[in-house]
C-alpha cells in the first residue's frame, strides 16, 4: 500500500492517495469569479486522487485577499461549473473549500466595513489591500444574534458548490480564519454560548459542519485544521485538548475526512515528535485522515505504509508539477516552484509549468 494505490472514499474511488491541497492563488476576475484560466489550472492537475480548490469565500464579508474566488453569487457558481465540468471530463474528482477569513481582512476589502471576529483582539502583521500593504485593524465582535447568518452563509455556499458540480466540500477551519478563531482560546474571549469553555468554543465550528452536512451528507464533507499555526496572532493554551475534543465531535457526525496540517519538514518547518498531534487524532477520528506538511514522495509513502494517514496532500509540489503522480511513479525530476508568482500574475507560474514529455 502506497501513495499510488487506489482509495475508496465513500461512493467515490480515488485513483491514488495524492491530494492537491487548497492553495490561494489570487487570480480571480472581477466579481470574485474564478479566472477562466482556472479551468486549465485544475484540469492540468486532474490526475490527483482528489483536488481541493483554493478557499472560496461564502460571503462578500468573508474576503481577506485580493482576487480570491467566492461561492455566493450565481456568476461565481457559473465560473466554477466550467472548472468542475473540465476536471470531470479529464477523469478527476474535485471538492470546493468553503472559506470565511473573519478578522484576517481589512475595510478596504469589505466595502469600508470592519472585519468580524469572535473577539475584538488585535492581529499582528500586514495585509495586501487594493491600494497596497496595510496593518490589520482591530475587528468588530460578531454579536450572538449575527451568528445564525454566518452558519447560513456556509450552508448556502455548500448548496452553491453542489450547483457548481463539485463532488463534495471542505470546510476551512485552519490557518487563523474565522472558524479557527472561534475554536482557539487565544482568539476567542467571548462570554456567551460561543466562548469560554471548550464546549462553547467548539459550538460554531460544529454548527457550521452540521449545516454543510445537511446539504451534502457527512461522507462528502471534510474539515481542515492546523493545530500548530501561530501566524495572525493565533494561539491556544492546550491545543492537544482543543483539537482532540473537536475531532471526537467530528467523529460522532461521521464526517468524510479530517485534513490536518502538521509540518514535518521542508518550507513549513518541523514539529518535534513529542508535539505531534496526528497520532492522537488518528486514534480518535475514524473517517479518512489527510495529512499535509512538507511531505515528499518518500515521507508520504512512509506515512501511508505505517497507517499514520489514508491520504497525503501536497501544495507547492502540485503547484509546480501538474503531473505529480506520474513523476512520483517514474521517480522523475521535479519542477522548482517560482515563489514570485504564487499570489500574482496570470498565466505565468499558474498554467505554464511543464509536464513530462
* Residues annotated as part of the active site: 177
With pLDDT > 70 as the criterion, what percentage of the chain qualifies? 99
- Show Cβ contacts of residue 177 under 8 Å, excluding neighbours closer than 6 positions: 55, 64, 99, 100, 101, 102, 104
Please compute the mean of the pLDDT values over residues 217-234 and round it to a whole number. 97
Q: Give pLDDT, residue 138.
A: 98
d(CA 333, CA 109): 40
Please compute the mean of the pLDDT values over residues 185-200 and round it to a whole number. 98
Q: Give pLDDT, residue 89.
A: 98
Q: Cβ distance 242 to 189 under 8 Å?
A: no
- Residue 266 pLDDT greater than 80, yes or no: no
Task: Write the pLDDT tens digit of every residue in 30-48.
Answer: 999 999 999 999 999 999 9
Calculate the alpha carbon distances from 213 to 85, 164, 340 in Å. 23, 17, 38
What CATH number was assigned to the domain covering residues 7-341? Answer: 3.20.20.70
- Residue 227 pLDDT greater than 90, yes or no: yes
All three cell numbers of 177: 480564519
* Predicted confidence band of residue 273 (pLDDT cuts 50, 70, 90): confident
Task: Write the pLDDT tens digit of every residue in 324-335.
Answer: 999 999 999 999
- Residue 170 pLDDT greater than 70, yes or no: yes
Domain boundaries, the chain: 7-341
Q: How many alpha carbons lie under 13 Å from residue 30 in its C-beta half-sphere?
A: 0
Q: What are phi and psi of 250, to 5 degrees?
A: -65, -35
Please compute the mean of the pLDDT values over residues 64-76 and round it to a whole number. 98
d(CA 247, CA 337): 33
Q: How many alpha carbons lie under 13 Å from residue 228 in its C-beta half-sphere?
A: 17
Q: Give pLDDT, residue 208.
A: 99
Nearest to 251 by CA among 212, 215, 209: 209
- Residue 268 pLDDT greater than 70, yes or no: no
Question: Burial level of 237, CB count in 10 A (0-12/13-18/19+)?
Answer: exposed
d(CA 82, CA 67): 18
Q: Give pLDDT, residue 267.
A: 59
Helix (H) or strand (E) holding 209: helix 198-216
Please compute the mean of the pLDDT values over residues 181-210 and round it to a whole number. 98
The alpha carbon of 223 is separated from its chain's Cα centroid by a whole number of angstroms, namely 8
Which stretch of 5-9, 269-273, 285-289 has the lowest confidence by average pLDDT?
A: 269-273
d(CA 253, CA 312): 23
Please compute the mean of the pLDDT values over residues 25-29 and round it to a whole number. 98
Q: Read out DSSP for 53-97? A: EEEEESSGGG--STT--BSSSHHHHHHHHHHHHHHHHTT--EEEE
Q: Which residue has the higher pLDDT, 270 or 134?
A: 134
Please compute the mean of the pLDDT values over residues 257-274 and round it to a whole number. 83
Q: Give pLDDT, residue 270.
A: 77
Angle in degrees, CA 234, 239, 245, rounded to 5: 125
Amino acid at each position: 500500500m502506497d501513495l499510488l494505490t487506489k482509495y475508496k472514499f465513500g461512493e467515490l474511488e480515488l485513483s491514488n492517495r495524492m491530494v492537491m491541497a487548497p492553495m490561494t492563488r489570487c487570480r480571480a476576475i472581477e466579481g470574485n469569479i474564478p479566472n477562466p484560466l482556472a479551468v486549465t489550472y485544475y484540469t492540468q492537475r486532474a490526475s490527483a486522487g482528489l483536488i481541493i480548490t483554493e478557499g472560496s469565500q461564502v460571503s462578500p464579508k468573508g474576503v481577506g485577499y485580493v482576487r480570491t474566488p467566492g461561492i455566493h453569487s450565481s456568476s461565481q457558481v457559473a465560473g466554477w461549473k466550467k472548472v468542475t465540468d473540465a476536471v470531470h471530463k479529464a477523469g478527476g474528482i474535485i471538492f470546493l473549500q468553503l472559506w470565511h477569513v473573519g478578522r484576517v481582512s481589512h475595510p478596504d476589502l469589505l466595502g469600508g466595513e470592519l472585519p468580524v471576529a469572535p473577539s475584538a483582539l488585535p492581529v499582528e502583521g500586514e495585509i495586501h489591500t487594493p491600494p497596497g500593504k496595510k496593518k490589520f485593524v482591530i475587528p468588530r465582535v460578531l454579536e450572538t444574534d449575527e451568528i445564525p447568518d454566518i452558519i447560513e452563509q456556509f450552508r448556502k455556499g455548500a448548496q452553491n458548490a453542489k450547483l457548481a458540480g463539485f463532488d463534495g466540500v471542505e470546510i476551512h477551519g485552519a490557518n487563523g480564519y474565522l472558524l479557527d478563531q472561534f475554536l482557539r482560546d487565544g482568539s476567542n474571549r467571548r462570554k456567551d454560548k460561543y466562548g469560554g469553555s471548550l464546549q462553547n468554543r467548539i459550538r460554531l465550528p460544529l454548527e457550521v459542519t452540521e449545516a454543510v452536512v445537511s446539504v451534502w451528507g457527512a461522507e462528502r464533507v471534510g474539515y481542515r485544521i492546523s493545530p500548530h499555526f501561530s501566524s495572525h496572532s493565533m494561539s491556544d493554551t492546550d491545543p492537544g485538548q482543543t483539537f482532540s475534543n473537536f475531532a471526537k465531535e467530528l467523529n460522532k457526525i461521521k464526517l468524510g475526512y479530517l485534513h490536518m496540517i502538521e509540518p514535518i519538514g521542508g518550507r513549513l518547518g518541523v514539529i518535534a515528535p513529542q508535539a505531534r498531534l496526528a497520532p492522537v487524532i488518528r486514534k480518535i477520528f475514524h473517517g479518512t485522515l489527510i495529512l499535509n506538511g512538507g511531505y515528499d514522495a518518500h515521507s508520504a509513502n512512509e506515512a501511508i505504509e505505517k497507517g499514520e494517514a489514508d491520504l497525503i496532500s501536497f501544495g507547492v509540489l502540485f503547484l509546480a508539477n501538474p503531473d505529480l503522480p506520474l513523476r512520483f511513479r517514474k521517480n522523475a525530476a521535479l519542477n522548482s516552484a517560482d515563489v514570485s508568482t504564487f499570489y500574482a500574475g496570470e498565466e505565468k507560474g499558474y498554467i505554464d509549468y511543464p509536464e513530462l514529455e
